[in-house]
Amino acid sequence: MTVAPARLRTRKADQACVAAVDVARAAAVETAGPTEVGPHRGYQAEDDRVVTHFFECLSRGYRGWQWSVTVARASRAKLVTVDECVLLPGPEAVLAPPWVPWDDRVRPADLGPGDLLPTADDDPRLVPGYTGADEELDPDAARQVTEELGLGRVRVLSPIGRDQAADRWRAGTGGPDTEIARAAPYPCATCGFLVPLAGALGRVFGACANERSPFDGQVVSFDHGCGAHSEVRVGPAPAIVSEPVLDTFAHEVAAHPASEVAPLFGSKVAGDEEFGHS
Ligand code: SF4
C-alpha cells in the first residue's frame, strides 16, 4: 500500500514545526498504539507556525488512512506542542459513497402497492389550497380547519412544484424531444384525443385519451405528437395506371362439374319451396 506524500505547500512551513516529527509521532502512538502508526508520509503547513504531519495507519480496517497530527508553536517560542491528532482518509482510502438523503434517493418506481411516501409540511412544491390569505397559517392548524370545513385538499401545487412538473414532463417521454414526437405528422395540440389539463398546466399539457397510442393515459405536451393523431387519414386508393383489356375473341375452358351445379338449378320444387318462389 502506498500513501501519497502530502506536501501541499500553500504557505511557508515553520521549520521548527516541520522538524517536530517525533513529537507528532509520539502523539499518534499515544492515541492509536505503537502497532497502528506507520512511516511518516509528509507534512502540510496549515498556518503560521502550524503544521500537520501525516503517518501511515497500519490498521487493516483503515487502509489508505493517515494519522494526522497537527503541531504548533507560539510566536517567539521554541517549544512545539501538539494541537490535535486525528485519523483522516488519505488519497487512496476506501470510503463509503456520499450519503444522500432518502427523499433524494427514492425514485418513482420505488413506490409499490401499499407504500406510503410522505411529503413534508414545508415541501416547496405545495401551498395551502384554500385562499392566498391562509398561506401564513400554521400547517397543522390549516389542516384542521380545512378538514372541519370539508374544503377538500389541504394543499395544492405551488408555482415551484408546477414549474418542476412542467420541466419534468416536457423532458420526458411525453415531451417534444422524442423520436416519435419529431416524426409525428401533427402535434398533440390539434389532436382530438387530447384532453387538456385544468389550471395553468392545461395551457401546455393534456392527457392522451387514444387507446391506440402508446401514450394513452399519459400526460403529453401540446408540441408532442404521435402517428395515432386523430387527423391522420388513410390515403386514397392507388390510381389505375391502364384501362382493363377485354378480349372478346379468345375463350378459356374451365372445369365445371355438373354434379356441383345440379343442386342449385336441378331440383326446382325443393329449391322453389325452400326460397319461397311461386
Ligand atoms: S394520439 Fe398521439 S397526437 Fe393524439 S394526443 Fe395522443 S399522443 Fe398526442
Beta carbon of 225 within 6 Å of any ligand 1 atom: yes
Which ligand 1 atom sits nearest the alpha carbon of residue 186? 3
State how far the Cα of 39 lies from the Cα of 1, in Å rounded to an integer: 12
- How confident is the model over 46-105, as pLDDT tens digits? 999 999 999 999 998 899 999 999 999 999 999 999 999 999 999 889 888 899 988 788
Count CA atoms closer than 13 A to 146's CA, side-chain side: 19
Helix, strand, coil shares of the chain, percent, nearest 5, are 30, 20, 50
**Residues of 153-164 as b/e, b for ≥16 C-beta within 10 angstroms?**
ebbebbeebbee
Residue 150 has pLDDT above 60, yes or no: no
Beta carbon of 193 within 6 Å of any ligand 1 atom: yes
Average pLDDT, the chain: 81
How far is CA 34 from its chain centroid? 50
Q: Is 242 exposed, middle or buried (0-12, 13-18, 19+ CB in 10 A)?
A: exposed
Q: Whose CA is nearest to atom 8 of ligand 1?
A: 188
The 3-state DSSP class for residue 111 equals coil
- How confident is the model over 212-259, as pLDDT tens digits? 889 999 999 999 999 888 888 766 666 666 666 777 777 777 776 655
Locate the domains of the chain by residue range: 15-89, 121-156, 160-221
Averaged pLDDT, 161-180: 94
Q: Which pLDDT score, from 0 to 100, does residue 199 have?
A: 86
Q: How confident is the model at residue 3 (pLDDT cuts 50, 70, 90)?
A: very low
Report the predicted TM-score, pTM, of the whole model to 2 decimal places: 0.49
Q: Whose CA is nearest to atom 6 of ligand 1?
A: 208
Class of the domain covering 15-89: alpha beta
State how far the Cα of 126 lies from the Cα of 159, in Å rounded to an integer: 8
Beta carbon of 219 within 6 Å of any ligand 1 atom: no
Q: Report the separation in Å between the CA atom of 163 and the middle of ligand 1, taken as the mean of its atom positions.
A: 23
